[in-house]
Amino acid sequence: MMRKTLVLLFGGQSTEHEVSCRSVLTIKRAVNQEKYKVLCIGITKSGEWIPVEKEEAIEDGSWKESAERAMILPDAKLSSVLFLGKNGESHLEKIDVVFPVLHGKDGEDGTIQGLLEIARIPYVGCGVLSSAISMDKVYTKMAVEKPLAKIGVRQAKYISFVRSQWENQEKIISKVEAALSYPVFVKPSNAGSSCGVSKAKDREALKMAVENALSVDRRVLVEESITGRELECAVFSGKEGQVESSSVGEILAAAEFYDYDAKYNNPDSKTELHPDIFGEIEEKIRKAAETVFLAVDGFSLSRVDFFLSGEEVIFNEINTMPGFTSISMYPMLFKKKGYSIEELVEKLLESAFHRP
């Protein structure tokens, strides 16, 4: 059997660059080497595309020092990677499938997906539209509002605005204070892993939080603060309209909220794969996760996050390329369901060839 050529894209220009470098190692080690020839291409924070052969170079970051380049061409007849050697030599290599292990902006937001669509290269993950909608917290809320209401699940109350509107700060602050009560969460609309997210307990803190969010994105979301447990559900779809959800896991954050540092750098943050919740609550969360996934036209994979306040299920957000590190919930939840990491990666790669 001739092996298919698989490209693993990792790194990227987002604030989640380091997480991606860890995720790709997990995925690379799980790929069936008898079925796939694996090519790794790292994208630096400044946007250089570099071929990487050794895992050690990913682990220590030395891949970024290479003078070689590798880029996916948009030419649909070629469907290839162009390799440029450090001495100017070049060659093309045909690609069969791409796994864009990229979290956050310029990877999880429809941009890379658009390139792969133009090049007619099968790829793992959600498509252009669902990636773009899900990356933007405001548009996600618009897309899922009615479908969730039908099954009795709500989302946090919010207001949103863009940078130009913030020029009239007093008007925006008055609008926030009329609609919501302190404390509130302030988030950039387009960002992942809680980057740029702050909790504001008063007016002055709100101003600082908005400035922080605007440093990440031009659109800002201000949400009510919800006191509750943080629960997550993984979903998979290998065929249009069919969604398989995992069991529900719980995040036990070692900080006031589960920000980037609490998620990846604080050893006291933990994940619980067997949370103490009623069966009907878990089933409601699983159904809500599937509902959200379908509402944004999801395909292949996503992780959907919720709050549980008392017995009320409240939707938080969806991640269309969740982490695959050793502490990431997506692979752990499907492992609990019976899929080894190798089986899960194989299912994801197969989904690329059945994209609707």
Catalytic sites, residue numbers: 16, 193, 328
- Token pair in block for residue 4: 């298919």
305 is in an annotated binding site: yes
34 is in an annotated binding site: no
118-121 long-range contacts, Cβ below 8 Å, gap at least 24?
A: 118/74, 118/76, 119/72, 119/73, 119/74, 119/75, 119/76, 119/78, 119/79, 120/76, 120/79, 121/72, 121/79, 121/95, 121/96, 121/97
185 is in an annotated binding site: yes
316 is in an annotated binding site: yes
> In degrees to the nearest 10, what's the CA dihedral of 323, 329, 330, 331?
100
318 is in an annotated binding site: no
DSSP structure class, residue 137: H
**What is the spatial distance between Cα 321 and Cα 23, in angstroms, rounded to a whole number?**
10
137 is in an annotated binding site: yes
> In degrees to the nearest 10, what's the CA dihedral of 344, 348, 349, 353?
140
229 is in an annotated binding site: yes
168 is in an annotated binding site: no
14 is in an annotated binding site: no
Sheet bearing 90-94, strands edge to edge: 69-72, 80-84, 90-94
**What is the spatial distance between Cα 190 and Cα 71, in angstroms, rounded to a whole number?**
25
59 is in an annotated binding site: no
327 is in an annotated binding site: no
The one-letter amino acid at 317: E
Which residues lie across from 6 on neighbouring strands? 38, 97
DSSP-derived secondary structure for 40-64 = EEEE-TT--EEEE--HHHHHHSGGG
Looking up tokens 């595309």, which residue turns up? 49
87 is in an annotated binding site: no
- Token pair in block for residue 146: 């009615």
5 is in an annotated binding site: no
19 is in an annotated binding site: no
42 is in an annotated binding site: no
Q: Which of 2, 1, 3, 7 is nearest to 97 (CA)?
A: 7
3-state helix, strand, coil in the chain (%, to 5): 35, 30, 35
59-63 long-range contacts, Cβ below 8 Å, gap at least 24?
A: 59/25, 61/21
Q: What are phi and psi of 248, to 5 degrees?
A: -105, 135
121 is in an annotated binding site: no
Point out the annotated binding site for ATP. Answer: 137, 185-187, 193-194, 223-230, 316-317
Point out the annotated binding site for Mg(2+). Answer: 305, 317, 319
Point out the annotated binding site. Answer: 137, 185-187, 193-194, 223-230, 305, 316-317, 319
